[in-house]
């Protein structure tokens, strides 16, 4: 596996790949890789001749400096995992390579905003779309792969591609889940043993509710479910909502809908979504 830190070196390699008529898949990550990330890379490997994985902890998508500086960093383990699954190239740039001037972010996408995570993390998705646009402009992949745990992010990135005329297919991949049914997340590595138990109990409560929703199919009431969640040692709920997966509008009908959650176990923010059909 090649490890490249400089943009100009990466671009030279990718020109040679494209000159051979080979397709390029990309998986953009912030590291602390788990089986969810690796599943995206494996999907990219199946459908492309050459796969570029990036690890870059993007400062412009964090709401505070503490959250950014405390984000898990496991680069040696990450490299070992990428080598094990045969990733072709790891792009590992420094901050100044991606942001050579000030840490500026742009408001590129306005659809699917003001709801869900965007409501509670103002500016976050401006940071996401800014850095994804930069990486897309550098790598110019044929396809890029994203996990459905960040479902709102996928919708926004699909809009970014349209707005910026990137000739890139955005591939949405199902979440890889643990035994409790919750999506894997890098932040979960920070749980204490007690917090892990709370997390597993949360999964059980959620799937009880999902089964109820599938039977009821319409006029679903979230009030009792929210009370049960708060009784489960959950510090705070940002949102628990049912939304249509196509337009992200609020709905109380399970058809083509997902349950979206964002809540806190201790100081760790958990986001996830679950099909209700």
Q: How many CB atoms lie within 10 A of CB 230?
A: 14
With b for 16 or more beta-carbon neighbours within 10 A and e for fewer, the 176-210 pattern comes to bbbeebbbbbbbbebbeeebeebbeebbeebeebb
- Are the C-beta atoms of residues 157 and 132 closer than 8 Å to each other? yes
Helix (H) or strand (E) holding 4: strand 2-4
d(CA 87, CA 225): 42
**Residues labelled as active-site residues:** 37
d(CA 201, CA 135): 38
């Amino acid at each position: 596996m090649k490890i490249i830190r400089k943009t100009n070196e990466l671009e030279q390699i990718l020109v040679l790949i494209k000159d051979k008529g080979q397709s390029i898949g990309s998986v953009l990550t912030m590291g602390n890789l788990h089986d969810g990330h690796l599943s995206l890379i494996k999907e990219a490997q199946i459908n492309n001749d050459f796969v570029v994985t990036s690890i870059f902890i993007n400062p412009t998508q964090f709401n505070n400096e503490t959250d950014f500086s405390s984000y898990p960093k496991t680069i040696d383990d990450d490299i070992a995992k990428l080598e094990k699954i045969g990733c072709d190239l790891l792009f590992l740039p420094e901050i100044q390579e991606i942001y050579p001037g000030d840490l500026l972010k742009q408001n590129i996408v306005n659809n699917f905003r003001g709801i869900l995570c965007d409501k509670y993390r103002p500016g976050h998705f401006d940071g996401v779309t800014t850095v994804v646009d930069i990486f897309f402009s550098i790598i110019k992949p044929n396809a890029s792969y994203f996990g459905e745990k960040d479902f709102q992010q996928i919708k926004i990135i699909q809009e970014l591609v349209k707005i910026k005329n990137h000739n890139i297919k955005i591939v949405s991949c199902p979440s890889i889940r643990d035994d409790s049914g919750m999506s894997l997340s890098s932040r979960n590595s920070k749980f204490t043993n007690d917090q892990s138990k709370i997390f597993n109990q949360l999964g059980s409560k959620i799937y009880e509710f999902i089964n109820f929703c599938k039977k009821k199919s319409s006029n679903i009431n979230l009030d009792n479910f929210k009370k049960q969640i708060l009784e489960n040692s959950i510090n705070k709920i940002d949102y628990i909502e049912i939304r249509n997966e196509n337009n992200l509008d609020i709905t109380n009908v399970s058809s083509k809908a997902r349950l979206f959650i964002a809540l806190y176990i201790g100081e760790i923010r958990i986001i996830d979504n679950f099909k209700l059909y």
